[in-house]
Amino acid sequence: MTLRDWVPIFALLVPGLGLILVLIGSVVYVAVAQSFGYYALLGQSAFSLEFWSDVFDRKLFSRAVRYSIYVGFWSAVLSVALAYPLAIWLRKPFPGSIGLGALLKAPLLVHGLVAAFLYINVISYNGLLNQFMQGIGIWSEPRRLQNDPNAFGVLLLQVWKNMPFALLLLTGAVQSISDDILDASRDLGAGPWARFCKIIAPLSISGMQAAMVIIFIGALADFTFQTTVGPTNRQSMAQLMVSFKSRGDWHSAAVVGVSLMTIALLGSALLAFTSRVIMRGGLR
Amino acid sequence: MTYERLNSLLITMVVTVAFIWLAIPFTMAVLWSLVDPAEPWTADKLLPPVMSFYRWVDMWENSSLRYALISSYTLAPSAALLGLCLALPTAFALGRFDFPGREFAKLLCLLPLVVPPFITAIFFSALLFQLGLNTWRFGAIVFAHSILFLPYAIRILTVSFETVRQDHIDAARDLGASAWARFRVAYLPALKPGISATLLIVFIQSIEEFAIAFIIGSPDIVTIPTLLYSALGQDFVRPNAAVLSLILVVPNVFLMLILERLMRSANPTLSSGKG
Amino acid sequence: MAAIGIRGLSKSFDGFQALSEFSLEVNQGEFLTLLGPSGCGKTTLLKIISGFLEPSTGTITIGGEDVTHVPPERRDTALCFQSYALFPHLTVLQNLEFGLKQKRVSRDQREVRISEVAAKLELETQLEKLPNQLSGGQQQRVSLGRALVMRPSVILFDEPLSNLDAKLRDQVRVEISRIQRDYSLTAIYVTHDQSEALAMSDRIVVLNGGKIVQVDTPEDLYSKPRTPFVADFIGGANLISGRVSSQTEKGPIIIETSMGPIKTSHLVKDNVDNVELSWRPERAKIGEGPHCGTIVHRAFQGQFTDLILEQNDIIFRIRTNNDKLRVGEVINFSLSPDDVVVLEVDK
Ligand SMILES: Nc1ncnc2c1ncn2[C@@H]1O[C@H](COP(=O)(O)OP(=O)(O)O)[C@@H](O)[C@H]1O
Ligand SMILES: [Mg+2]
């Protein structure tokens, strides 16, 4: 293509893709620059590694990193693990399967904050769950379930919100495997487990990887669930970043932000790679 | 016939779980929003003792709800329109021209979806500070929303542009149509559902967006999600939170259902999961 | 003993009767073809034999053993799919190995069987390729090979040639026949193409609307169709109805039709007056003869010419080597009484 062909295409790409690159590019640039001491709002801007070493020395930070990875990893794994059997089950339509799929995907329509409210409502001190457990006599008195230290509430909400998304991606992937291929494997003697390991899993791996990575990034960077139902003695990375920022400590916020992006990137790559190895090689 | 028995057992199980999962929490939310302050709903009663729309009226008159509704419902259409205008040229290029690196360009368009929203929010606000634009909150949110949701807009419109049939364009040219007439007869019919879907999806996403509105908007601009967030946090009054939750979720469910229908009629590839 | 026995088989889908009262025996080493128009239940029958569908009533035996409720993965059948159904993520070698690994055949045995089949199907150089790197004919051979390495007691084909172009089709057809004979496999072959059926089969089962219409060798099916459906479906015979005018002990029977009297040497059942006759287009001898017609359409086909003739508002078809005849000419022809078949009237 000549320069003359490129000019109109470039001109067309500028308002859309161009702005995306400018915005995201400058956001990432500002984050990295601030983490090294540039773009100070107060005081002088100069290169320094001080913020990195300061933040990395804090126990708060390493706890937040571990905690965010914990939430991200388990949210992704649990959502996908729940969605896989459902997707396989709903692969072939049967009476009621469309309604069932819609029912399972309904949480996609519900805002995360609303989900958090609904959850709080059910598990609160005088909420339905406590009443129920007392009613059937398992618990003698109401228990405090809100902001549980193991973040089961956060994980539950993440799965509630993300399982339907994984289901959406996996149903697409699993439905694109033709009946003939599955029938052929049966005809050659493959039972249900062999069919899953040798045919379904390898052929739907890209859908699964996409679901894993997207859920992982979202849950890793979670702020709303953590601040509404998460444990009070721990902070997620996003929460830590926001709290640094609201104290005006932009440089430390930037260090957390850049670390968060790095972990998102590395973690996604690692998750995608491991799931491929497990699905393709390990189960052979 | 054990397979069928197993299947109906599974159906029953999933429906039960989904019921616990959805119906109970929502019923609770509706009931809580109807609790009259005259008598509190205590744990020993199955239903609220006195039910009224008092909370709804009260929230409407005495809280920032009205203000949040106004700002959410002006932000969203502005972001939708701006997003559409920004997405159209890029989608045209991606959908109608074959140039080296096109697939890569499509991939790059997804960037806003991979960067965690709070990072975008915080460092976009840092950028605004640097540029001295930090008082320009409303415009900044509209701008950020429209760009953040460009991936959806570009994706939908690219598919729409791809479905414009070259033989329709050629036939129109062959019959001597001007550029405008060609656009009307060949492009517009194929684009229309895509345009509505784009407007709707950016609208919904913008209404729901929390991070940007929270970081950039506070304290001046309150949207429904940020209002709900504060209602869940420092000033947690359960009936009020219930009212807000319902206001946030109910219109969106309807909008989403319309969207789903639109997408299905617009481009089957999107609804069949290849999108 | 029969390799496959099908007794009193029916299958209905939500009230729609896809197969009814189906009984058939397939002999060891036989090449049996199921022939019928699209939608007549061929695939359904094949799926029941291979175990993917359970019959509503009836039983299936393979090698004398009742397998009606045995799932496909434990049946000793191998199915060749119309779409080939090769596993797209596995190489040719892995595709061929798949079934053997499921059956836990030892590595040595696997190698022996695969190299033998690969040699026979000329796939040795393709073993490391993925299916989408192969041509249609090669994919077809892999699918065949994948079935063959299993050494099944029955091999089932569902329209295996319909995705191939005309030239390849002839080639693969010959190949399948040869392999079936070499291994003396019992084969059930489904097709809607009558020429395929006639060329390959030991016996042909003609199906229509989920029922068996006629089971015969190709030669008998062609020369002695029993019903108008078979006569028309195979070779497009001319059909005409008439009245028996004289039935004597000796000599041909004379049937009065709108084409004039036609003689047949086939027997008509007693007490039947109205009969349906069929005769093959290529059996008419043009020249002298009692019958005549006006050529209304002519289609030159190369080795022969198809003529459509009309007489007394009846249309019929004649196939001839004479390419000089033109539309509008009136020709005379005769039919040998042996070639005029009396059909059973469909109920
Ligand atoms: N799963 C099914 N549900 C309902 N009807 C079916 C099903 N499978 C096949 N049929 C019907 O049964 C009839 C026979 O189908 P099939 O065996 O596929 O015909 P063919 O001879 O073309 O292979 C068709 O009319 C088809 O519509
Ligand atoms: Mg068929």
The CATH class of C229-343 is: mainly beta
C196-221 burial: b if 16+ Cβ within 10 Å, else e: bbbebbebbbbbbebebbbbbebeeb
- Per-residue pLDDT band for A270 (boundaries 50, 70, 90) equals very high
C297-314 burial: b if 16+ Cβ within 10 Å, else e: ebeeeeeebbbbbeeeee
Q: Determine, yes or no, domain membership for A45.
A: no
Which residues on chain B are in Cβ contact (under 8 Å) with A89? 10
Model pTM?
Answer: 0.82
Q: Do A14 and B89 lie within an 8 Å CB cutoff?
A: yes
d(CA A74, CA A151): 11
d(CA C295, CA A183): 52
Closest residue, chain C, to A181 (C-alpha): C85
Do B244 and B232 form a contact (C-beta atoms < 8 A)? no
Do C296 and C327 form a contact (C-beta atoms < 8 A)? yes
Mean pLDDT across the stretch C20-43?
92
Q: Determine, yes or no, domain membership for A144.
A: yes
- A116 and A18 within one domain: no
Name the residue range of residue A194's domain.
Answer: 50-282
- A160 and A30 within one domain: no
Which stretches in chain B have pLDDT values below 50? 268-275
Written as one letter, the residue type at A79 is S
Q: Determine, yes or no, domain membership for A40.
A: no
d(CA B133, CA B124): 11
- A172 and A63 within one domain: yes
Ligand 1 close to Cβ of residue C13 (< 6 A)? yes
CA of B5 to the centre of ligand 2 (A): 29
* Atom in ligand 1 nearest the alpha carbon of residue C42: 21
pLDDT exceeds 80 at position C267: no
- Per-residue pLDDT band for A283 (boundaries 50, 70, 90) equals very low
Give the pLDDT of residue B275. Answer: 30
Residue among C266, C255, C263, C205 nearest C234 (CA): C205
Q: Determine, yes or no, domain membership for A119.
A: yes
Q: Determine, yes or no, domain membership for A44.
A: no
Residue B46's Cβ-count burial label (10 Å; 0-12, 13-18, 19+) is: exposed
Residue among A78, A68, A116, A115 nearest A234 (CA): A68
Number of domains in chain A: 2
pLDDT exceeds 60 at position C26: yes
d(CA A279, CA C230): 53
- A59 and A16 within one domain: no
d(CA B164, CA C212): 50
Do A51 and A35 form a contact (C-beta atoms < 8 A)? yes
Q: Is B41 on the interface with A (CB under 8 A)?
A: no
- A202 and A168 within one domain: yes
CB-closest option in C71, C81, C146 to A180 = C81
pLDDT exceeds 90 at position C164: no
Q: Is C77 on the interface with A (CB under 8 A)?
A: yes
Q: Report how far Cα C39 is from the mean position of its chain's Cα atoms.
A: 14
Out of A36-45, A175-184, B157-166, C247-256, pick the least confident: C247-256
Closest residue, chain C, to A178 (C-alpha): C85
Q: Which residue has the tokens 């930037």?
A: A254
Q: What is the CATH number of the domain that holds A177?
A: 1.10.3720.10
In degrees, to the nearest 5, what angle opens at C-alpha B232 toward C-alphas B226 and B237? 120
- In the beta sheet, which residues pair with residue A135? none
Ligand 1 close to Cβ of residue C40 (< 6 A)? yes
Do B164 and B236 form a contact (C-beta atoms < 8 A)? no
Do C255 and C261 form a contact (C-beta atoms < 8 A)? yes
- Per-residue pLDDT band for A281 (boundaries 50, 70, 90) equals low
Which residues on chain A are in Cβ contact (under 8 Å) with B88? 16
For chain B, the structural domain boundaries read: 64-271
- A97 and A27 within one domain: no
Q: Determine, yes or no, domain membership for A43.
A: no
Do B48 and B41 form a contact (C-beta atoms < 8 A)? yes
**Non-local CB neighbours of A239 within 8 Å, separated by 6+ positions:** A64, A223, A226, A227, A230
**What pLDDT, in 10s, does the model give residues A70-86?**
999 999 999 999 999 99
**What pLDDT, in 10s, does the model give residues B39-61?**
777 766 777 777 888 888 888 88
Which residues on chain C are in Cβ contact (under 8 Å) with A94? none
- For the domain spanning B64-271, the CATH number is 1.10.3720.10
Give the pLDDT of residue A109. Answer: 82
Which residues on chain A are in Cβ contact (under 8 Å) with B154? 16-17
- A117 and A17 within one domain: no
Do A109 and B254 form a contact (C-beta atoms < 8 A)? no
CA distance B170 to chain A (A): 21
Mean pLDDT across the stretch C110-135?
91
What CATH number does domain C4-228 carry, 3.40.50.300, 3.40.50.1970, 3.50.50.60, 3.40.50.10790?
A: 3.40.50.300
- A1 and A77 within one domain: no
- A91 and A22 within one domain: no
- A26 and A148 within one domain: no
CB-closest option in B28, B123, B248 to A121 = B28
Ligand 1 close to Cβ of residue C50 (< 6 A)? no
Q: What is the ipTM of this complex?
A: 0.85
CA of C37 to the centre of ligand 2 (A): 9
Give Cα separations from B181 to A51, B178, B184, C190, C247 (angstroms).
61, 5, 5, 54, 79
- A19 and A109 within one domain: no
d(CA B58, CA B240): 9
Closest residue, chain B, to A31 (C-alpha): B123
Residue B60's Cβ-count burial label (10 Å; 0-12, 13-18, 19+) is: middle
Q: Determine, yes or no, domain membership for A42.
A: no
Ramachandran area for residue A137 (φ above 0: left; ψ -120 to 50: alpha; else beta):
left
